[in-house]
Amino acid sequence: MKLLSRRPAPVAQDRATLLRLVSLLLQYPDEQLLAARADLRQAVAALPPSPSREALAEFTTWYGEADPASLARAYVETFDLRRRSSLYLTYYLHGDTRRRGMALLTLKQRYRVSGLTPPDDELPDFLPLVCEFAALAGPSTGEAPLRQHRKGLELIRTALHEAASPYALVMDALCAVLPGLTAAERSAVADLALAGPPDEEVGLAPFAPPEYLTGTEVRP
C-alpha cells in the first residue's frame, strides 16, 4: 500500500517515521513485510527514546520471532474476525449508515486535495492508510483524520488490550503521539463499547459489502 507523495520536512521526520512504522505493522503480514522484519526492528530502534518507541520495540520483538503462519493467523483473528477491533475508522463514528458513505468520500477528497492518491483497492478510512497519509502530509493536515477519529482509535486499543493482543502495543504507540481523551470522550468511548456503532438498513451497498467495511472479511 503506497500513496504518491511528498516527503515530510526534516523536523517532522521522526514523527513521520513512527507513523509509517505503525502503518506497516498494522497491515497484513504478507511476504514483503515478513522479509522486512529485521529492517522494521532496526527502524524502531533508531527512533528517539519515547513511550511509543518502547511499545513498538516490544511489538517488533514478538513480530520478528513469531513464525509466519502464527502472524497471519493472529492478524486475521484480531482484525478480520472481530468488529470491535476493525481497522476501518468511520465504522466507529457512523456504523453502517449513509453518513459513513459521505465520510469516506470526504476523506478521499482530503487525500486528493493534499496531492496524494490513495490506492483503488482499499477504503480511505483503513487505519494503515490514514497513518501513511498522516506521515506524508504532516501533523496539521495529515493527522486531522486521526484526531477526528480519536475515540474510535481508543476503542480499538481497548479491545486489543482486552484480547491480550500484541497489536495493542502498536495502538499504544499511535495513541501516545495523539491528543489524550477528555473525561467526556472517555465516557463516550465506554458508551460506544456497550452500544456499538449506529446502524440502519440502507446505506453503504454502493461502496462495499458490510463484512469488508467492518474488517470482518476472511482473507484467502
pTM above 0.85, yes or no: no
In a domain, 139, yes or no: yes
Cβ contacts of 160 within 8 Å, gap of 6 or more: 78, 85, 167, 168, 171
CATH number (domain holding residue 66): 1.10.3480
In a domain, 43, yes or no: yes
Take residue 87 and report the three cell numbers written for it: 481497522
Question: Which grid cell is 43?
Answer: 527502524
Check if the beta carbon of residue 211 is closer than 8 Å to that of residue 217: yes
In this prediction, residue 205 carries a pLDDT of 40
Note whether residue 4 is domain-resident.
no
Residue 177 in domain: yes
**Residue 134 domain-assigned (yes or no):** yes
| DSSP state letter for 83 | G
With cut-offs at 50, 70 and 90, classify the pLDDT of residue 219.
low
217 assigned to some structural domain: no
Is 214 part of any domain? no
> What nine digits make up the cell of 90?
468511520
Confidence class for position 191, pLDDT limits 50, 70, 90: low
What is the DSSP track for 128-162? Answer: HHHHHHHHHH-HHHHTHHHHHTHHHHHHHHHHHHH
Print the domain residue range for 27: 10-197
pLDDT tens string 118-140: 788 889 999 999 999 999 988 88
End-to-end CA gap in the chain = 18
Instruction: Summarize pLDDT for 20-46 with one digit per residue, the tens.
Output: 999 999 999 999 999 999 999 999 999
For 214, the grid coordinates are 467492518
Model confidence at 213: pLDDT above 60: no
Share of the chain above pLDDT 70, in %: 78
Domain count, the chain: 1
Q: Which of 5-19, 65-79, 116-130 has the lowest mean pLDDT?
A: 5-19
